[in-house]
Amino acid sequence: MSNPIDLDPFARFRSVTRARIGLGRAGDSLPIRAVLDFQLAHARARDAVHGHVDFAAMAARLGETLPVTRLRSRAADRSIYLARPDLGRRVDPAGLATVQKGDWDVAFVIADGLSAAAVEAHAEIVLSACLRRLGDLKIAPVVLGEQARVAFGDEVGEALGARMVVVLIGERPGLSVPDSLGAYLTFGPKVGRRDSERNCISNIHADGLPHETAADKIAWLIREALRLGLTGVELKEDMSGAAALPLTP
């Protein structure tokens, strides 16, 4: 009896990767299963990009235990947001005028980014896990950013007077993961910060970085950033040997 691996040498690899490898062929084309799987993945990626986060429902849930502020970017709608990344990086002036400056260590921003599915599935869980690890710090009101990109958090953090900002945002979906969340940390947030001045933790999703592990990394980076007064290429993630982070209820 033939060994299935001998018939399909890629079988052993498919069990450990989401990559499309050894798809085979049917004549001059791919097998119909591979074609349909690709079309489904493409549809899910498009839905993630064009989807909308229910920020009203999220604000209601978070508002039961946390102060929450809703803001939007200067992109009036999704089509403009996708065509004009620069508008997604700035806060609508009318909303920004309502933000009150305070004495905060950290500001958290939940932004829709390029995957509504990621924000809906993971953002609140990661936020809650982070807050349990940061009970001794002064946390600003949580900001929900609509049609927002990473740099949106710079203007928000500056307006709040926060020492640093953490943006939880939907990452650009691929054909294997449409709901990946990213976390971007910036010390001394202000308009004009460069990407090299941030730290990023990416691939937070069911088949990637678990919520609790992501929260451990975010909390560790926050404390190191506040201690050293910097983020970005000069702040290296090295949690090896670090003591367990304290959790609060």
Give the CATH number for residue 141: 3.40.50.11240
The answer to whether residue 28 is domain-embedded is no
Strands 68-72 and 142-146: parallel
User: Is residue 92 one of the residues assigned to a domain?
Assistant: yes
7 inside domain: no
Split into its structural domains, the chain has a count of: 1
Per-residue tokens: 6: 């001998």
Q: Does residue 17 form part of some domain?
A: no
Range of the domain at 123: 50-228
pLDDT score of 165 = 98
**What residue type is assigned to position 101 of the chain?**
K
Residue-level pLDDT at 86 = 97
Residue 25 lies in a domain: no
In a domain, 77, yes or no: yes
In a domain, 111, yes or no: yes
pLDDT per residue as tens, the chain (249 positions)? 455 555 778 888 877 877 777 887 788 888 888 888 889 989 988 989 999 999 999 999 999 999 999 999 999 999 999 999 999 999 999 999 999 999 999 999 999 999 999 999 999 999 999 999 999 999 999 999 999 999 999 999 999 999 999 999 999 998 889 999 999 999 999 999 999 999 999 999 998 999 999 999 999 999 999 999 999 999 987 766 454 555 655
Residue 232 is which amino acid?
A: G
Asked if residue 70 belongs to a domain, the reply is yes
**What is the pLDDT, as a whole number, of residue 248?**
58
C-alpha 125/C-alpha 130 separation (Å) is 9
Pinpoint the alpha helices (H) of the chain.
4-7, 11-14, 32-50, 55-62, 78-83, 85-88, 93-96, 116-118, 124-133, 152-160, 211-228
Residue 24 has what pLDDT?
Answer: 79
